Structure 1
Amino acid sequence: YVSLEFAQMFRRFGSQVTVVEKSPRLIGREDEDVSAAILSILENEGITVHLGAGDIGFARQGSDIAVTFTAGKAPAVGSHVLLAVGRTPNTDDLGLDKAGVELDKRGFIVVDDQLRTSVPGIWAMGDCNGKGAFTHTSYNDYEIVAANLLDSDPRRVSDRIEAYALYTDPPLGRCGMTEAAVRKSGRRALVGQRPMTRVGRAVEKGETQGFMKILADADTNEILGCSVLGPGGDEAIHCVLDLMYAKAPISTLARAMHIHPNVSELLPTIAQELKPLA
């Protein structure tokens, strides 16, 4: 995610940018249609993307760096290389072993659903506990710990719904389950989708790349998840996220009147046109 944000940023600064990805598609945790749309957005800006790259290596080439990958492919040569290979928690110098605080095999502090560690009286919040690695999840960690310690309010990590954004332009806003996760769950589901080319606000702005998609349970009408890739997608997603927290059925969204002209005004329309997930 960070690598794609930086790729687009430096391309807009005027740099020639090449993305070398080991996986067969970008942002593999997302649905395939989202990955394909992000790929199209980046390529439309002149970013070169190599997918399914194997045997990645690095070598000096004069004052530049050559990135080699997959036998027979020409190396990508540039002045700088950004490696986006995940995160390692910065817990190795905290003396946690002396306090008896348990770590997992990756170095994250092991916590329960209320963020207690293995030692009574010690709690772990933020990136060190491996429960989110976002600013918003870290702040929510604080709220959970404060509620339990100070307010006798048993808030839990499991109460929150997964939500995050990819800050490319246009951004991707995501909450709840992906289509792939819904299929894997085996439940009967409904899905609705609308391209940004059919969203008036997006057309007005001349930013019609992307789409919106909503998933709901066919038996209970529970909203399962949503993806909004398009202008204001990181904001519009909260229309669905808040309804999920309220445990409102999809019919609540379908009957809502949103303000025109706005990207989110098409979310009720999508909710009215759901079809069985094939």
Structure 2
Amino acid sequence: MKTFDAIIIGAGQAGAPLAARFAAEGQTVALIERHLVGGTCVNTGCTPTKTMVASARAAHVARRAADFGVDIAGAITVDMKRVQARTADVAGASRKGLEGWLEGLDKVSLLRGHARFEGPDRIALGDEILTAGKIFINVGGRPTVPDIEGLADIAYLTNSDMVGLDRLPEHLLVLGGSYIGLEFAQMLARFGAKVTVVERGERLIGREDPEVSDAVRGFLEDEGVTVMTGAECIRLSRDGGQITMHADCGGDTRTATGSDLLVALGRRPNTDNLGLEKAGVTVDKRGYITVGSGLETSVPGIFALGDCNGRGAFTHTAYNDYEIVAANLFDGESRSVDDRIAGYALYTDPPLGRAGMSEAQAVKAGHRVLVSSRPMSNVARAKEKGETAGLMKLVADADTGKLLGGAILGPGGDEAIHAVLNLINMGATAKDLQWAVPIHPTVSELLPTLAGGLSPAG
């Protein structure tokens, strides 16, 4: 039996920095990784997908060059093998850099293999038993593959497969109209594939307010993406080289046929086969590890960070989980995950940046809301760039004036939204934002105008 001060299962975006913090405090750490260091973000998520998004945007801008008075001779073509090679290089460099850093840390033992609990303070790794007073679970998640009629008989793709794809599908069917599905839908359309998005809900990205969903659908359709919503009761079939998706509820049958199928229906935690029951760690009905405000599980001394705890499914929330745990363990603080303000982005082009609550979420939470919205066609910078699709929106509490949320769907929306996110974190009011003096010409300069135009919803 080998004894450590801490055992961390998973070298993702929370596990790796936490190992370094323990080492910096002079404590020994076993950091166990069964697959690739860096987790989803570095290997199959943020890093490779945003690299591919950049390639897709380059093709799109080149095709639009004439709109800006720039002539490019010949047709614009995409070499998918080179796109994939560049993607692999960028992701591989990130992973190697992280591995080198971890392997160079004194007191950190980077171990390979599948970890399983043998008790609340014991981990089996192959034939070895490791023990520690504190154990941290950072095992991430994987694509959800639901039980859909006919799916088991079809060779389908997930986001993990897409980042390694070095060919262009003739016609990609995307099952799922949310963040992962829409990013791949647009980029593959820009690479030259036909794309059909099939969404079971009544609109795309259903967690967003309707005007945001409608705007995203509008610019995707303008780029040639076919969108089918309200497609419940789905079944799949293959006839030779073609895959057909049938949506036949209520006697109304609609079909979509393509050469390839991407299943993008969300994520599930990698908490099965960890032996959690031997440690007494509680999970919910979806397999997420239940945690308190300090991210400790039902068992004292065992913590769950990142995608597996159901408290956030992003790299930045996983890293913030690390920050909370480290601050509480080493800095004498009482940080809580319950205090975290939601923020995220959808990396279509233009991107959507979201901070805090949507209008619907604010109403559901019991707020009397004020809202303000303007089309991106009102923004000088967007007009100058020739990218006027989208909108900007603010949500505030009618009683206190405090900012509750915002959305920026437009050029640089993923960056500009941080002005709103930071103000919400500070507890600022709409008046605080209204009297700021923004830089012209920028996307952010419309935010004070929005703040001054807040009015009751409806």
TM-score normalized by the length of structure 2: 0.59
Percent identity reads 60
Aligned pair count?
Answer: 278
Greater C-alpha Rg: 2
Q: Shift of the alpha carbon at 1:185?
A: 3.8
SS in 2 for 1:116: coil
SS in 2 for 1:173: strand
| Residue aligning to 1:151 | 331
SS in 2 for 1:131: coil
Q: Select 1:196's aligned residue among 376, 379, 391.
A: 376
SS in 1 for 2:404: strand
Answer 1 or 2: higher relative contact order, Cα 8 Å, separation at least 6.
2
| Residue aligning to 1:235 | 415
Structure 1: 4+ residue segments shifted above 6 A: none
Change in Cα spacing, 1:250 to 1:74, as seen in structure 2 (3 Å) is: closer
Residues 1:87 and 2:267 aligned together:
yes
Q: Shift of the alpha carbon at 1:186?
A: 4.2
SS in 2 for 1:38: helix
Q: Select 2:185's aligned residue among 7, 10, 13.
A: 7
Q: Select 1:181's aligned residue among 361, 364, 367.
A: 361
Change in Cα spacing, 1:217 to 1:72, as seen in structure 2 (3 Å) is: closer
SS in 2 for 1:25: coil
Distance 1:276 1:50 in 2: 33
Q: Select 1:66's aligned residue among 244, 250, 256.
A: 244
| Residue aligning to 2:234 | 56
Contact 2:372 2:454 in 1 (8 A): yes
Change in Cα spacing, 1:117 to 1:185, as seen in structure 2 (3 Å) is: closer
TM-score normalized by the length of structure 1: 0.97
Contact 2:356 2:404 in 1 (8 A): yes
| Residue aligning to 2:220 | 42
Mean CA deviation greater in 71-80 or 90-99 = 71-80
Q: Shift of the alpha carbon at 1:65?
A: 1.3
Question: Where does structure 1 lack aligned partners over 5 or more consecutive residues?
Answer: none
Residues 1:255 and 2:435 aligned together:
yes
Q: Shift of the alpha carbon at 1:104?
A: 1.1
SS in 2 for 1:82: strand
Residues 1:110 and 2:290 aligned together:
yes
| Residue aligning to 1:141 | 321
Distance 2:236 2:361 in 1: 36
Q: Select 2:400's aligned residue among 220, 240, 254.
A: 220
CA-based RMSD: 1.2
Mean CA deviation greater in 205-214 or 188-197 = 188-197
Question: Where does structure 2 lack aligned partners over 5 or more consecutive residues?
Answer: 1-178
Distance 1:264 1:219 in 2: 25
Amino acid at match of 2:185: A
Contact 2:359 2:369 in 1 (8 A): no
Q: Deviations over 1:71-120 (max 9, x none)?
A: 55453221210111221211112111111111111111111010001111
Bigger strand fraction:
2
SS in 1 for 2:323: helix
Change in Cα spacing, 1:184 to 1:269, as seen in structure 2 (3 Å) is: same
